[in-house]
């Protein structure tokens, strides 16, 4: 099993701990593929131990607890921002552009739709650990998402 398969398997099993990839592959495609597979960060070799430790501390800070039917669910800051947006505007369609602007701020652009899909998928998986009877997050193809509570 290669590293990408390991990441996917970990995320498939809903393990919520941060994953940092250490690799000598420096191509953008390798980084994007690892992050899209579920990695939280990517560090190119060679690296200094201080940088690795700082990135580990940052990754651990990004994991925020949430309770779903009494069970703790750990969300990254971006997942938390998504959930906050969806609960702030229940039953309304939120466009990709609106969500990207909220999550990534001024740095966000239309290329972030793929990343947005990854974060929405992770949020869905994490929330599925509890009862889904209270919420439904619907994809509106080519538009965005609708958080239905009815």
Instruction: Encode pLDDT of 44-73 as tens digits.
Output: 998 888 898 888 888 777 665 555 656 677
Residues 88, 21 share a domain: no
Residue 149 binned pLDDT confidence (cut-offs 50, 70, 90): confident
State how far the Cα of 53 lies from the Cα of 21, in Å rounded to an integer: 13
- Which CATH number is 24's domain given? 3.40.50.2300
The answer to whether 44 and 74 have CB atoms below 8 angstroms apart is no
For 104-116, what is each residue's pLDDT tens digit?
887 777 668 889 9
Residues 114, 98 share a domain: yes
Residues 135, 120 share a domain: yes
Residues 57, 22 share a domain: yes
Residues 47, 23 share a domain: yes
pTM: 0.52
What does the pLDDT average to over 112-141? 79
Among candidate residues 45, 61, 77, the one where a domain is terminated: 61
For 13-40, what is each residue's pLDDT tens digit?
766 678 899 999 878 999 999 998 888 8
State how far the Cα of 56 lies from the Cα of 8, in Å rounded to an integer: 20
For residue 131, list its beta bridge partners: none
Number of domains in the chain: 2
Residues 25, 69 share a domain: no
Best CA proximity match to 69, nearest among 13, 131, 7, 25? 131
Residues 22, 94 share a domain: no
Residue range of the domain that includes 131: 64-148
Among candidate residues 61, 76, 99, the one where a domain is terminated: 61
State how far the Cα of 66 lies from the Cα of 49, in Å rounded to an integer: 31
Residues 143, 86 share a domain: yes
The answer to whether 75 and 83 have CB atoms below 8 angstroms apart is yes
Residues 90, 135 share a domain: yes
Residues 143, 99 share a domain: yes
User: Using the 8-state DSSP alphabet, how is residue 143 labeled?
Assistant: T
């Amino acid at each position: 099993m290669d590293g990408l398969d390991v990441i996917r398997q970990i995320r498939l099993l809903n393990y919520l701990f941060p994953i940092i990839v250490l690799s000598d592959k420096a191509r953008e495609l390798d980084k994007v593929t690892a992050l899209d597979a579920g990695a939280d960060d990517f560090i190119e070799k060679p690296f200094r131990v201080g940088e690795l430790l700082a990135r580990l501390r940052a990754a651990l800070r990004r994991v925020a607890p949430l309770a779903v039917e009494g069970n703790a669910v750990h969300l990254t800051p971006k997942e938390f921002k998504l959930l906050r947006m969806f609960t702030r505007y229940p039953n309304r369609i939120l466009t990709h552009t609106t969500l990207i602007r909220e999550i990534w701020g001024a740095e966000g652009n239309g290329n972030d739709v793929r990343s947005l899909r990854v974060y929405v998928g992770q949020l869905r998986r994490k929330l599925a650990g509890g009862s889904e009877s209270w919420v439904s997050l619907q994809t509106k193809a080519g538009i965005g998402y609708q958080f239905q509570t009815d």
